Structure 1
């Protein structure tokens, strides 16, 4: 059976990927509110009080589970296994969906740890930290479009399949932020997670856990990038910092 001379499976793939993207978008917006304590039913400091050892154990386990799922499913070996179960054009969408659901579980089960580590009172300092918070999210968003936002989140693959566009060979480029840092998306997250005028023990644990995950995840991701782009990416690693711009091992060659 065809729809407008296109295989029904292709149409279903497009609908599925659009739904996965919608779940991701909602989860990402909720993450902003969760971390920033903005207009969500439950933020990082909300919930019934629990003794801190239990809260620490539960929250640490949630971060660990998210990190494992997010990293393992992104590896090439897992992708090959997954595409034996789901069609290749929707593999990325499936990854995006499961990562979003795992993050939603973090929101749901997160236990508040409200001990105050700092609370900035000066209006100018509050404004500065809030500005950095939004700057971090802005850097993260722009970074996704500098590479390929719709491919990154699984919309392009089923559309190309439906249009019978052959897969393209990955190309190496360093637009804008990528000239200064290899993973500006992660840098944006770090700024957003740490920039707050009200730092509680729970917020600190979330920021620390996600920081550790982002650096470990970036290391695994770079192995795949070296395998794809070879010596060109190795030179890029030496010339440009991984997440922090000032950590490059040598300056970029002139010209």
Structure 2
């Protein structure tokens, strides 16, 4: 009974995080902030959003730490260190992805009409020349290269994978709305999460 309760609590914590995360990333919420903050929104939103994401995921991390569940497997050395190395590399992808496409995360651009000066241009460069969603790739690598897997972790990781994939689909829908045919052409040429599966594109597409 206690084991079942820990699973339910962990799943509930993940769902709560997903709801808060999705709400604060939604366009209606951003429009509300835009009315209140005006031009300051692009400077303040991302730090505040990141802080909220960290604070709301902490209860889930604590629950998994206290109740990891039965161990399903434990990868021995040296393979576990290769997995940890892969996780460290994946952790570097997200900052690189932000650096290579800061225009994608400007709230005023996201809320602008298609093909307006405020919407900007796609401007493909850096890591986006080989992969469309580096955040999805880094997230999947970080969770699935965990060298110790437990029952509760597996449940959370499966649900997180679904959430990340659905979030990626939703994010690309926004990018199509922001950049139009320019982004549709980019989708045809570059794979979502597997680098180099199709082809790379020249910078500034």
Q: What TM-score range do you get, normalising by the shorter chain?
A: 0.7 to 0.9
Please state how far the C-alpha of 1:144 moved relative to its aligned partner: 2.2
User: How many angstroms apart in 2 are the aligned matches of 1:253 and 1:152?
Assistant: 21
Please state how far the C-alpha of 1:225 moved relative to its aligned partner: 0.7
Query: Is 1:61 the counterpart of 2:15 in the alignment?
Result: no
Paired residue secondary structure (1:171): coil
- Which is higher, the Rg of structure 1 or of structure 2? 1
Q: Counterpart of 2:22?
A: 71
- What TM-score do you get using the length of structure 1 for normalisation? 0.63
Q: In structure 2, which of residues 72, 75, 82 is the aligned counterpart of residue 120 of structure 1?
A: 75
User: How many angstroms apart in 2 are the aligned matches of 1:218 and 1:61?
Assistant: 22
Instruction: Decide whether the 8 Å contact of 1:120 with 1:126 is kept in 2.
Output: yes
What residue ranges of structure 1 are gaps of 5+ in the alignment? 1-49, 155-166
Instruction: Decide whether the 8 Å contact of 1:181 with 1:243 is kept in 2.
Output: yes
What residue ranges of structure 2 are gaps of 5+ in the alignment? 108-116
Q: In structure 2, which of residues 119, 122, 126 is the aligned counterpart of residue 176 of structure 1?
A: 126
Instruction: Decide whether the 8 Å contact of 1:183 with 1:243 is kept in 2.
Output: yes
Q: Counterpart of 1:185?
A: 135
Please state how far the C-alpha of 1:193 moved relative to its aligned partner: 1.1
Please state how far the C-alpha of 1:115 moved relative to its aligned partner: 0.9
Please state how far the C-alpha of 1:245 moved relative to its aligned partner: 3.8
Identify if the C-alpha distance between structure 1 residues 51 and 99 changes in structure 2 by more than 3 Å, giving closer, same or farther.
same
Root-mean-square deviation over aligned CA pairs: 3.1
Alignment of 1:2-81 (within 5 A): 51-81=2-32
Query: Is 1:135 the counterpart of 2:89 in the alignment?
Result: yes
* Equivalent residue pairs, number: 190
From the two aligned structures, give the one with the greater helix fraction: 2
Q: Counterpart of 1:32?
A: none
Please state how far the C-alpha of 1:244 moved relative to its aligned partner: 3.4
**What CA deviation, in whole Å up to 9, does each residue of 1:81-128 have, x standing for no partner?**
23344555146144333323212333344452331111112x221221
Instruction: Decide whether the 8 Å contact of 1:140 with 1:187 is kept in 2.
Output: no
